[in-house]
């Protein structure tokens, strides 16, 4: 048996070594890995990172990256495994050689396992291509040196030991079993695809599991286990550490190894090693019982006489007939039904997750349903197109009916066009399935506003077109390469190639097949202005697709000689008049629309690739940096007439700024930056001045005044700018000015002085253009930078007055109080004026609004009008928002300072951006956040409430307290708004909701820091880092409120506001802020302020043992052993353990039933001063304890919060 096994193994191995497929597969994996590594190494421009998050300073050949390259690409290799591992036994049957084998004296075990092992080894060899490709790529000259770590062989080998070999063993066993027992090529192939699909589906399900251990275990490929093991690794760890044998990994690998062995055993058991082996095809029809037929001679044969009117009309009839036949053949095939069923299940799963944010869902509005369901079903559609384009092209040949078909008297265009049409019809059916799923999801979620028109345009107007083009391409590929599997592969590569296309600087939609400038739906604006360009682009590509179709048709294989060379020869014979006419028409349309597109994108508008854009930024800096920070007058008054023409997507500004010399010396010239889209109709100063620099390339203008402005002088800057939307752009269509829902910010107005914000910020780009590196933000203590606030470098506090006109059916808004409203020339006019100075941050909005009004009355009797301007139909959460505004005003006026305005308005704008922003007494709020949230009581976080509170808080933090433009400025705007909202939410919803919210925040913080692209900074130096100023900020402020007490903390904030609100330059910074915090902090907790704000601090607290004993006096003695550790991390995530002598909560919980739910109830909760390492406690409590531990409410930042507490164990 042993020698037999070896013999068979070696035979298999040698046989495979001679097969070209082995080398093709290996080469493919090599190439994919090679390209991926090049991409990681920055060879295609901006580099990216593989794994669970993008960004981060992870080196291309770090163990983390190598591991992901090999793991992820080995999934793509699944289809290779399928064909390598599924065939060894099946092959004998296919070649009908099995009787020869099965009559030799070899054993079943020797045969089966010999074949399996031989194939396994050769497949492993094929997969070695991944490591080879990755390694070779690191030697290439295009890889940036700073992206590489020194070579380490183990980093390449370890993924094989832990991931690839076990996975290959498992998938190999599955496919080997499938191939051996079904003995059908198609079952095998479809089995592979279904396996892949199931896996993709399962992984999205797994990622939603709360239980991480189960999620890690049930993932057969182990990626969940890897993910959870490395989830919070910082860049430094990812660059250095290999995958450890974590519990999750070891258990996962063991489990699936056992399952693989079981599969092999099953296969062995079921395999019938005999000549009469019939196999077990799924779906195989039983052969008809052999009926012995009587042979009767019919005498004379009368061939039925028929008429065959060969004409175009009859060809058309044949076309419809064939299309129907091909269509039915496709949708009736069991594999189609299997893929669609899998897809439908997947879609329902995705539908259930629709739009979750902080665990709350949004209403399943049709546009979101289409986006989510259509998007997730898209993968299945892509697979169906790839798979069935091959099946249809090969159908006759696969069934060996091609010789009959090819001699039928049908025109050459018939087979191709009917198959093409059939596959397109299939897409219609699939999209109907998507639509049906969507309707079901909506109905189940209790949303009955179906918006069928949105379904039709979204699915059949947009997606169907895209799929049809893809079908043409897929058919062309299949026909040209004339090898089904190679065709499939090329199409997958095409998809990958599309991703790289942009990296290569090929950004123009004119040469990216099937592309368009994008089309986005908004409830307020519909598809709006996107429709026109979309149609033009689709005509352009449809004409191209028609050309492809003509070529495909000419190359269609008819007859028995199908080499491409032959077909090219034959194609010449097919250049009939109609073919030439169609091709010429398609070509003409292609050229005409292409020209039209070029005219729009490159002549009417400016087209720049990202490289050109970068270069322009670099040159701007090189040319005008010399003017940086020269004294320039600052805006003090804004007085504008803004005319908005939504239908034409045009707007204009007329009016003036007053600008003032606030410096101690004269200013002789005014430098202006005017956006290039503006048509300058007038820019003048009310003093004699000369335009000395008019640089339209960089939009830089310098006016030299005849009389320099003396210190304290003001000048009036008159302006008249017109913004016309001309044609359409290649990408980035302007969504600020739209048919309904215009939202124009003051960045369309001239800026004064050189603008450092236009400079390139990434150091690697700066280096590329020969610019010195520059700090991302000025140092927290930079006193020069503190002369500006972070809104603008050319204004402090301004007086604001504006008249806005818009179309007669819209309401126009700007910060300020409405002075007057009137109608003239069929347009509506609104005059707004602010009664006190505001920061230089304002916007103009116009839409067809409905308005909801309410008011808030303060304790001192002050009245504030609350208004929500919303899109009719979006009434769902208006009451929550209003309630949030009122409660926020309550809390903030009581704890911080008075509200400086008499009104507060929330304005809805289209969902092109998913943000809310706070302008003085005016809060634009995207339709996609909050307005359509579906809040169920006791489920998740009420985020419209929270978000509204956050934005209202900005009326204090950001509008009253304005930081200098230095590091840490976001602490005073975002972190404090986050804290304020948290406190309002606590009052409304209680601790429980807070806990849920903070759990999300902790996870987002820990994940965010792993993706840090530069370096993580302590909170007081935070730059533009969401995960720090929002996420960590919430955690830190919440803990601080607990340690110091909410009241004490609020008193510090109140004092701080008193000190800095509405201040002039120099503006405040976080050092000043911390001074106030330290002022209310006892000496014993000063360390905490340092750790939380000035350092990056992480705890590793856990409960080692927790037991209790019931005492005779009916009390309970609890013994608790906990471990506490504290680490300081640097900006790259390198940690050093710190000495711990900290006050940390020790808690004991009982359980109580509240409203039918079990909840924890603290029976002991005190802060104790702990030392590093093990600490031991004993307590006597009066209730039966349930859980106990260290920091049970997760005040401190800890990567494993779950081990903080433990269920108590009773001891004797």
**Using CB under 8 A as the criterion, which residues of the chain lie in contact with another protein when the complex forms?**
285-288, 290-291, 293, 295-298, 300-310, 314, 317-318, 321-322, 325, 329, 332, 399-401, 403-411, 558-561, 563, 566, 569-570
Cβ 309 to another protein, closest distance in Å? 6
My answer on whether omega of the bond before 631 falls inside 30° of 0, hence cis, is no
The encoded tokens of residue 145 equal 């040196």
Q: Name the residue with tokens 């979006």.
A: 874
Cβ-based neighbours of 901, under 8 Å, separated by 6 or more: 864, 920, 921, 955
Q: Are the CB atoms for 543 and 465 separated by under 8 Å? A: no
Q: Name the residue with tokens 């032959």.
A: 566
Cβ 556 to another protein, closest distance in Å? 14
Cβ 363 to another protein, closest distance in Å? 45
CB nearer another protein, residue 400 or residue 1153: 400
Cβ 189 to another protein, closest distance in Å? 17
Neighbour-count burial of 978, counting CB atoms closer than 10 A to its CB (0-12 exposed, 13-18 middle, 19+ buried): buried
Which of 177, 252, 195 shows the shortest CA–CA distance to 76? 195
**CA distance to 197, 265, 791, 1007, per residue, from 176 (Å):** 19, 12, 64, 39
State the DSSP code for 820: E
Q: What is the DSSP string of 374-393?
A: IHHHHHHHHHHHHHHHHHHH
CB nearer another protein, residue 296 or residue 859: 296
Neighbour-count burial of 854, counting CB atoms closer than 10 A to its CB (0-12 exposed, 13-18 middle, 19+ buried): middle
CB nearer another protein, residue 317 or residue 681: 317
Cβ 387 to another protein, closest distance in Å? 18
3-state secondary structure 264-294: HHHHHHHCCCCCCCCCCCCCCCCCCCCCCCC
Distance of CA 579 to the CA centre of its chain: 44
**CA distance to 957, 1019, 1077, 1078, 1089, per residue, from 1073 (Å):** 12, 12, 7, 9, 12
CB nearer another protein, residue 212 or residue 406: 406
Q: Name the residue with tokens 């599997």.
A: 485
**CA distance to 185, 383, 824, per residue, from 389 (Å):** 17, 10, 61
Task: Tell me the C-alpha distance between 719 and 654, whole Å.
Answer: 6
CB nearer another protein, residue 285 or residue 1139: 285
Cβ 576 to another protein, closest distance in Å? 11
Cβ 188 to another protein, closest distance in Å? 18
Q: Are strands 634-645 and 795-807 parallel, antiparallel or unpaired?
A: parallel
CB nearer another protein, residue 400 or residue 1139: 400
CB nearer another protein, residue 572 or residue 1153: 572
Percentages helix, strand, coil for the chain (3-state, rounded to 5) are 50, 20, 30
Helix extents (H) in 976-1023: 976-989, 991-1010
Cβ 307 to another protein, closest distance in Å? 6
**CA distance to 614, 707, 914, per residue, from 48 (Å):** 18, 54, 24
CB nearer another protein, residue 3 or residue 286: 286
Task: Tell me the C-alpha distance between 384 and 168, whole Å.
Answer: 26
CB nearer another protein, residue 562 or residue 1090: 562
Cβ 484 to another protein, closest distance in Å? 16
Cβ 329 to another protein, closest distance in Å? 7
CA angle 707, 711, 713 (to 5 degrees): 65
Cβ 401 to another protein, closest distance in Å? 6
CB nearer another protein, residue 570 or residue 850: 570
Cβ 305 to another protein, closest distance in Å? 7
CB nearer another protein, residue 317 or residue 1171: 317
Cβ 479 to another protein, closest distance in Å? 18
End-to-end CA distance of the chain: 59
The encoded tokens of residue 638 equal 């804004």
CB nearer another protein, residue 560 or residue 1155: 560
CB nearer another protein, residue 154 or residue 325: 325
Q: Are the CB atoms for 945 and 765 separated by under 8 Å? A: no
Cβ 386 to another protein, closest distance in Å? 22
Task: Tell me the C-alpha distance between 274 and 690, whole Å.
Answer: 101
CB nearer another protein, residue 104 or residue 311: 311
């Amino acid at each position: 048996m042993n020698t037999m096994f070896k013999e068979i193994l070696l035979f298999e191995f040698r046989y495979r070594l001679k097969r070209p497929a082995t080398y093709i597969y290996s080469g493919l994996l090599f190439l994919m890995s090679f390209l991926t590594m090049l991409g990681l190494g920055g060879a295609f421009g901006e580099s990216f990172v593989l794994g669970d998050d993008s960004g981060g300073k992870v080196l291309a050949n770090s163990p983390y990256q190598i591991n992901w390259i090999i793991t992820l690409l080995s999934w793509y290799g699944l289809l290779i495994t399928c064909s390598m591992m599924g065939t060894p036994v099946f092959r004998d049957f296919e070649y009908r050689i099995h009787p020869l084998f099965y009559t030799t004296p070899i054993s079943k075990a020797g045969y089966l396992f010999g074949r399996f092992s031989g194939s396994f080894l050769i497949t492993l060899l094929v997969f070695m291509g991944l490591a080879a490709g990755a390694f070779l790529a690191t030697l290439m000259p295009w890889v940036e040196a700073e992206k590489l770590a020194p070579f380490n062989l183990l980093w390449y080998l370890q993924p094989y030991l832990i991931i690839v070999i076990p996975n290959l063993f498992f998938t190999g066993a599955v496919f080997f079993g499938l191939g051996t027992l079904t003995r059908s090529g198609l079952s095998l192939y479809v089995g592979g695809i279904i396996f892949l699909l199931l896996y993709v589906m399962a992984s999205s399900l797994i990622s939603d599991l709360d239980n991480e251990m189960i999620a890690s275990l049930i993932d057969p490929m182990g990626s969940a286990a890897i993910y959870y093991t490395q989830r919070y690794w910082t860049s430094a760890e990812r660059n250095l550490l290999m995958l450890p044998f974590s519990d999750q990994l070891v258990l996962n690998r063991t489990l699936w190894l056992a399952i693989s062995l079981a599969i092999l055993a099953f296969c062995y058991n079921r395999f019938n090693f005999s000549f009469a082996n019939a196999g077990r095809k799924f779906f195989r029809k039983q052969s008809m019982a052999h009926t012995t037929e009587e042979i009767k001679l019919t005498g004379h044969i009368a061939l039925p006489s028929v008429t065959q009117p060969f004409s175009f009309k009859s060809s058309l009839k044949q076309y419809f007939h064939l299309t129907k036949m091909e269509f039915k053949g496709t949708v009736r095939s069991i594999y189609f039904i299997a893929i669609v069923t899998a897809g439908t299940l997947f879609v329902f799963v995705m539908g259930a997750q629709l739009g979750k944010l902080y665990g709350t869902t949004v209403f399943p509005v049709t546009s979101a349903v289409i986006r989510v369901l259509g998007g997730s079903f898209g993968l299945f559609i892509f697979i169906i197109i790839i798979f069935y384009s091959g099946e249809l092209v090969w159908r006759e040949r696969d069934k060996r009916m091609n010789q009959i078909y090819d001699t039928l008297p049908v025109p050459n265009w018939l087979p191709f066009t009917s198959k093409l049409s059939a596959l397109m019809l299939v897409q219609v059916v699939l999209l109907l399935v998507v639509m049906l799923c969507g309707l079901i999801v909506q109905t189940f979620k209790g949303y009955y506003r179906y918006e069928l028109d949105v379904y039709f345009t979204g699915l059949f107007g947009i997606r169907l077109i895209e799929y049809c083009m893809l079908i043409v391409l897929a058919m062309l590929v299949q026909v040209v390469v004339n090898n089904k599997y190679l065709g499939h592969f090329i199409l997958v590569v095409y998809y990958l190639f599309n991703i790289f296309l942009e990296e290569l600087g090929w950004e123009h939609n004119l040469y990216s097949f099937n592309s368009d400038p994008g089309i986005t739906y908004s409830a307020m604006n519909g598809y709006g202005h996107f429709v026109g360009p979309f149609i033009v682009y689709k005509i352009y590509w449809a004409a191209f697709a028609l050309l492809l179709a003509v070529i495909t048709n000419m190359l269609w294989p008819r007859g028995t000689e199908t080499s491409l060379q032959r077909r090219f020869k034959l194609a010449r014979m097919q250049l009939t008049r109609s073919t030439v006419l169609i091709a010429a028409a398609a070509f003409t349309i292609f050229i005409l629309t292409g020209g039209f597109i070029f005219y729009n994108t490159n002549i009417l508008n400016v087209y720049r690739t990202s490289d050109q854009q970068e270069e322009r930024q670099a040159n701007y800096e090189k040319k005008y940096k010399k003017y940086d920070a020269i004294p320039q007058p600052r805006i003090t008054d804004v007085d504008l007439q803004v005319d908005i023409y939504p239908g034409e997507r045009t707007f204009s500004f007329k009016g003036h700024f007053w600008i003032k010399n606030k410096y101690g010396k004269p200013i002789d010239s005014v430098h202006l930056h005017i956006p290039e889209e503006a048509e300058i109709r007038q820019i003048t100063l009310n003093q004699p001045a000369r335009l000395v620099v008019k640089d339209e390339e960089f939009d830089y203008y310098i006016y030299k005044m005849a009389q320099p402005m003396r210190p304290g002088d003001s000048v009036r800057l008159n302006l008249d700018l017109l913004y016309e939307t001309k044609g359409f752009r290649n990408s980035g269509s302007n969504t600020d000015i739209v048919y309904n829902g215009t939202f124009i910010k003051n960045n369309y107005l001239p800026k004064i002085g050189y603008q450092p914000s236009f400079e390139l910020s990434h150091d690697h780009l700066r280096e590329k253009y020969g610019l010195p590196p520059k700090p991302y933000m000025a140092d927290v203590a930079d006193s020069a930078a503190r002369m500006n606030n972070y809104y603008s470098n050319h204004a402090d506090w301004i007086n604001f007055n504006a008249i806005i006109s818009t179309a007669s059916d819209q309401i126009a808004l700007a910060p300020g109080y409405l002075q007057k409203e009137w109608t003239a020339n069929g347009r509506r006019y609104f005059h707004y004026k602010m009664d006190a100075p505001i920061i230089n941050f304002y916007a103009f909005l116009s839409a067809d609004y409905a308005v909801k009004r309410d008011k808030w009355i303060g304790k001192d009797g002050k009245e504030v009008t609350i208004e929500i301007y919303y899109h009719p139909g979006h009434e769902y959460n208006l009451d929550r928002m209003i309630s949030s505004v009122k409660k926020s005003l309550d809390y903030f006026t009581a704890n911080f300072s008075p509200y400086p305005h008499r009104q507060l308005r929330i304005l809805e704008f289209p969902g092109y951006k998913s943000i809310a922003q706070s302008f003085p007494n005016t809060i634009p709020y995207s339709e996609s956040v909050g307005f359509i949230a579906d809040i169920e009581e006791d489920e998740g976080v009420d985020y419209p409430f929270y978000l509204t509170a956050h934005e209202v808080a900005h009326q204090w933090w950001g509008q009253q307290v304005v930081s200098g433009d230095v590091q840490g400025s976001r602490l005073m705007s975002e972190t404090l708004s986050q804290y304020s909202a948290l406190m309002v939410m606590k009052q409304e919803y209680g601790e429980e909701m807070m806990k849920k919210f903070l759990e999300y925040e902790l996870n987002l913080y820990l994940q965010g820091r792993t993706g840090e692209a530069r370096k993580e900074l302590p909170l007081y130096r935070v730059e533009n880092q969401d995960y720090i100023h929002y996420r960590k900020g919430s955690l830190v402020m919440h803990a601080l409120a607990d340690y110091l007490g909410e009241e004490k903390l609020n008193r510090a904030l109140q004092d701080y506001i008193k000190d800095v609100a509405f201040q002039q330059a120099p503006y405040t910074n976080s050092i000043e802020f911390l001074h106030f915090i330290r002022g209310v902090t006892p000496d014993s907790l000063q360390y905490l302020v340092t750790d939380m704000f000035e350092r990056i601090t992480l705890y590793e607290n856990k409960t080692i043992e927790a037991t209790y004993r019931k005492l005779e006096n009916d009390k309970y003695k609890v013994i608790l052993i906990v471990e506490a550790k504290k680490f300081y991390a640097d900006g790259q995530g390198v940690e050093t353990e710190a000495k711990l002598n900290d006050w940390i909560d020790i808690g004991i919980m009982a359980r109580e039933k509240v409203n039918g739910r079990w909840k924890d109830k603290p029976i002991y909760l005190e802060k104790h001063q702990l030392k590093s390492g093990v600490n031991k406690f004993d307590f006597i409590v009066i209730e039966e304890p349930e859980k106990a531990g260290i920091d049970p409410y997760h005040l401190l930042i800890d990567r494993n919060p779950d081990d903080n507490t433990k269920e108590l164990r009773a001891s004797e």
